[in-house]
Amino acid sequence: MTSREEFRVSGLAEPISHYTDAVRAGNLIFVSGVVPVDDDGGLVGGDDVAAQARQVFANMGRVLATAGAGFDDVVKVTVFLTDVDDRPAINPVRQEIFGTARPASTLVEVSRLAIPGAKIEVEAVAVLPEPVRPDGPNPVETEA
């Protein structure tokens, strides 16, 4: 059976529904959609989608760290924008955050998000490295 662990980040705004910030299943971390809010749940960035994106990734960084991961462990992101034409404005923020790493990505335009005024929401999947056995490298499994 795969191990499962839920993560709530101390100090982040409470979820607005029945979910948690992230769930670890095996060596995968599933990060719930992250919106541009401060620790009290107030919208950050006003109408500036790049400022909102910076807040989203700052919050996501806290979630990843709590789960034992970082942006270099992210293998997939899904970006929800209320205006797909905002993509060029958020791309420099993504490059800043991910550096040379390029996660798989999906971009979806939506009519609105759960937080009034939010222009962006991002969810992610990260992979934690397999633990190394103290007596040497992990054995390679082969089919018989």
Amino acid 142: pLDDT? 45
**DSSP conformation class of 43:** B
Residue 16 is predicted with a pLDDT of 87
- Residue extents of the structural domains in the chain: 4-127
Q: Please say whether the dihedral angle defined by the alpha carbons of residues 90, 37, 123 and 16, taken in this order, is positive or negative.
A: negative
Q: For each of the chain's 144 residues, which pLDDT tens digit applies?
A: 568 999 999 988 988 889 999 999 999 999 999 999 999 999 999 999 999 999 999 999 999 999 999 999 999 999 999 999 999 999 999 999 999 999 999 999 999 999 999 999 999 999 997 765 556 555 445 454
- Specify whether the backbone of 23 is left (phi greater than 0), alpha (psi in -120 to 50) or beta: beta
Q: Are the beta carbons of 81 and 111 closer than 8 angstroms? A: no
CATH of 4-127, one of 3.40.50.920, 3.40.50.150, 3.30.1330.40, 1.10.3720.10: 3.30.1330.40
Residue labelled with tokens 């979630």 = 63
Closest C-alpha among 103, 98, 101, 6 to residue 53: 98
> Angle at which helices 49-66 and 87-98 pack, to 10 degrees?
30
Q: Which pLDDT score, from 0 to 100, does residue 134 have?
A: 59
Could you tell me the two tokens for 47?
């109408």
Q: How far apart are alpha carbons 79 and 38 in whole angstroms? A: 19
